């Protein structure tokens, strides 16, 4: 599995657009690549399958924080190994996903999830992995959960704040709190 300090892989995937455009059948699809949103931080999070139970709670959780991520010059990319057509159908038929503000990327051939090393060995789907990628395409944070356990989008935002601070941040540090200041002896 790729980890901290590794370069995030190059990719080009089909996606369902976020926001109202993603619900219009004639304009719902786009291509997103590693070069999209150049110069921004990227929050790339994977879920195992559409039309499941834990996954929509996570998508909604990230969606609720989209503005906060944008305020930090970060974009959200949600990814699963389902096709863009399955993503669109899920958005159209799940009431909580109709307003989803970020794109849903389709890693149908497992190119990105395989390159990252996050495919579940038994199920062949992406694990619940989250990557924070800096504007230079370097992975700065990785978290991987079991298929049955949802993640905490607010924690991902907290870690982004800490990384962007460039400071030493203690346990449970939050934006606006004191940084650690080593004392010379």
pLDDT in tens, 127-166: 999 999 999 999 999 999 999 999 999 999 999 999 999 9
pLDDT in tens, 88-103: 999 999 999 999 999 9
pLDDT in tens, 17-34: 999 999 999 999 999 999
- Among residues 132, 127, 166, the alpha carbon closest in space to that of 147 is found at 127
Phi, psi of 142, deg, nearest 5: -140, 135
Rg of the Cα atoms in the chain: 17
Q: Which domains does the chain have, with CATH numbers?
A: 12-165 (3.40.30.10)
pLDDT at 58 (0 to 100)? 97
Percent of the chain clearing pLDDT 70 (strictly above): 100
Rounded CA-CA distance 35/58 in Å is 25
Is 55 an annotated catalytic residue? yes
Rounded CA-CA distance 3/117 in Å is 10
pLDDT at 182 (0 to 100)? 87
The residue from 55, 88, 118, 127 that is catalytic is 55
Rounded CA-CA distance 151/143 in Å is 9
pLDDT at 185 (0 to 100)? 73
Q: Which residues contact 180 (CB under 8 A, 6 or more apart)?
A: 167, 168, 169, 170
Rounded CA-CA distance 26/173 in Å is 45
């Amino acid at each position: 599995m790729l980890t901290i300090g590794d370069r995030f892989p190059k990719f080009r995937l089909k996606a369902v657009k976020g926001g109202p455009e993603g619900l219009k059948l004639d304009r719902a699809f786009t291509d997103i690549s590693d070069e999209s949103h150049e110069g921004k931080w990227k929050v790339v999070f994977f879920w195992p399958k559409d039309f499941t139970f834990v996954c929509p709670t996570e998508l909604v959780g990230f969606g609720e924080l989209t503005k906060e991520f944008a305020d930090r010059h970060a974009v959200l990319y949600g990814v699963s190994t389902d096709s863009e057509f399955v993503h669109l159908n899920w958005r159209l038929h799940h009431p909580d996903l109709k307003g989803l503000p970020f794109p849903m990327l389709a890693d149908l051939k497992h190119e990105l999830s395989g390159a990252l090393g996050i495919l579940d060995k038994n199920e062949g789907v992406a694990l619940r992995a989250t990557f924070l990628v800096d504007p230079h395409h370097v992975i700065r944070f990785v978290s991987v959960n079991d298929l049955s356990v949802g993640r905490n989008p607010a924690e991902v935002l907290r870690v982004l704040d800490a990384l962007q601070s460039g400071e030493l941040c203690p346990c449970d540090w939050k934006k606006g709190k004191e940084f650690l200041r080593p004392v010379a002896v």
